Amino acid sequence: MPVATPAQYRAMLDAAQKGDYAYPAINVTSLPTINGALRAFAESKSDGIIQVSTGGGEFASGTSVKDMALGAIILAEATHRLAARYDVLVALHTDHCHPKNVDKFLKPLIAATAERRAAGRGNLFNSHMFDGSELKLDENIRQSKALMEECARHEIILEMEAGVVGGEEDGHDTSGVANDKLYTTPEDMLAVYEALSPLGRFMFAATFGNVHGSYKPGAVKLKPTILRDGQKAVTDKHGKAALMDLVFHGGSGTPLEEIRETLGYGVIKMNIDTDTQYAFTRPIVDHIMKNYDGVLKIDGEVGDKKAYDPRGYLKKGEQGLCTRLKEACSDLLSTGKTLFGKV
C-alpha cells in the first residue's frame, strides 16, 4: 500500500509505545537505498520509517543542482510509488534540519504536503525533525512551537531535539561540545513536554550520551536511565498519559542490551545510518576488489561490461543494506508486528 496515512502513522507510534518496541528509521539517498529498506521491512514483516536528511536531499537533486528540498521531494515521491508494492506500513520523515536550513528545507516540504492535501492526495511526509539543539533551550522551544503549529495544520508530527548528539553527520560537527550538553536533564524534558503537548503530538530526541558514527566498544558512554528519569519527571506531574514518544539518535554500533533498555523508557524510533551506509558499501568494495581486472580496462584490455555495469554492484549494496536493516528490526523488536491491514 502507499505510505502510511497520518492516522496510520499515529497508530504505528501508539503500538510501539504500548508494545515496548521501536521502528528503525533509515536515511536514504537513492533508489537502491529506498528499495533495500522496503525489502528489509517487508521481509521482516515490520513497519518502518524512511527518512531524508538535508545532505541526502541535496545529493539526490544532483551534484550540479544541490537543492536539498527538491531532492527530498524526489526521494519521497519515489518512496510513495515503490511502497505501494509492499504489504507493510512505511512512514516518511526528515532528519536533522538545523535552524539555518528551515526556510530552504522544512518550509518547502511542508508546502509540498499542503499542495498534495489540497489536491486530495496524502501527505508527502508524515513527520519532520527540527534540530534546534545548537540554540538555548527557550529559543529552541520557541522555534519548535512555531514549526509545530504549522505542521499540525497538515497532520504532520514534529520531532525536536534538546541536548546535543555528539559526533559528525552531514557536515554538522558537534565533537567539540561540552560533555554536559550530551545529556538532557529531567527539567529539560519537562519543559519540552509542557511547551509542546498543548499543540498536539510530537516526538522528542532526548540525548543521553549518544553519538553519530561508529565507535569501538566502550568509546561511547550512554546513560539510558536519563530517559527513564526524564519520563518519570513528566508522568509524575502530568500522569501516565504524558509518556513521551522518544527518539534514539546515533544508534549505530550500540550494544543490544542498551538498545533494548531504551525501549522500556519510551523510545519508539531509532535512527540507523552509519551501519547501513557501511552495509551498503562493503559488498560493493568486495565486488570491485574481486573483479578488478574486469571493472578497469587494464593494459589496453577492454574489461568486463558485466563487472563494471553499476546495476551489478548496486544490487549487492541493496542486499547488504537490507540484511543489516533486518537485523535492526530484530534488535528493536518490531519484526512480525506490522499493522498492515489492521488499521
Q: What is the pLDDT of residues 8-43, one digit of tens each?
A: 999 999 999 999 999 999 999 999 999 999 999 999
Kindly report the three-state secondary structure assignment for every residue of 113-156. HHHHHHCCCCCCCCEEEECCCCCCHHHHHHHHHHHHHHHHCCCC
Q: Tell me the Cα Rg of the chain.
A: 20
Structural domain contains residue 336? no
Residues 6+ apart with CB under 8 A from 118: none
pLDDT-based confidence at residue 216 (cuts at 50, 70, 90): low
The rounded distance, in Å, linking the Cα atoms of 49 and 155 is 17
- Domain that includes residue 319, residue range: 6-331
**Residue 343 counted as domain residue:** no
What value, to the nearest 5°, has the Cα angle with vertex 329 and ends 240 and 77? 95
The pLDDT of residue 171: 53
Burial of 179 (0-12, 13-18, 19+ CB in 10 A): exposed
With respect to residue 213, please indicate whether it lies within any of the assigned structural domains.
yes
Helix spans in 153-224 (H): 186-196
Give percent of the chain with pLDDT exceeding 90. Answer: 85
The answer to whether the CB of 183 falls within 8 A of the CB of 152 is no
In a domain, 337, yes or no: no
Cell of residue 130, nine digits:
527540527
Domain-located, residue 162 = yes
Query: How many structural domains is the chain composed of?
Result: 1
Q: How confident is the model at residue 170 (pLDDT cuts 50, 70, 90)?
A: low
Mean pLDDT of the region 89-100: 97
Catalytic-residue membership of 229: no
Provide the whole-model pTM. 0.92
Secondary structure element (H or E) that encloses residue 19, with its range: helix 6-19
Give residue 165's pLDDT. 60
Local confidence band at 174 (pLDDT 50, 70, 90 cut-offs): very low
> How many Cβ atoms sit within 10 Å of the Cβ of residue 218?
7
Tell me if 53 is assigned to some domain. yes
CATH code, domain carrying 109: 3.20.20.70
* Per-residue pLDDT band at 156 (split at 50, 70, 90): very high
Phi, psi for residue 208 in degrees, rounded to 5:
-140, 40
Question: Average pLDDT of 195-222?
Answer: 78
Name the pLDDT band for 183 (thresholds 50, 70, 90). Answer: confident
Report yes or no on 311 lying in a domain.
yes
| Residue 116 · residue 124 · CB < 8 Å | yes
Tell me if 339 is assigned to some domain.
Answer: no
Distance CA 340, CA 343 (A): 7
Which one from 95, 131, 170, 245 is the annotated catalytic residue? 95
Helix ranges restricted to H, 205-291:
225-238, 256-263, 274-290
45 closest CA partner among 92, 1, 89: 89
148 alpha-carbon distance from chain centroid: 18
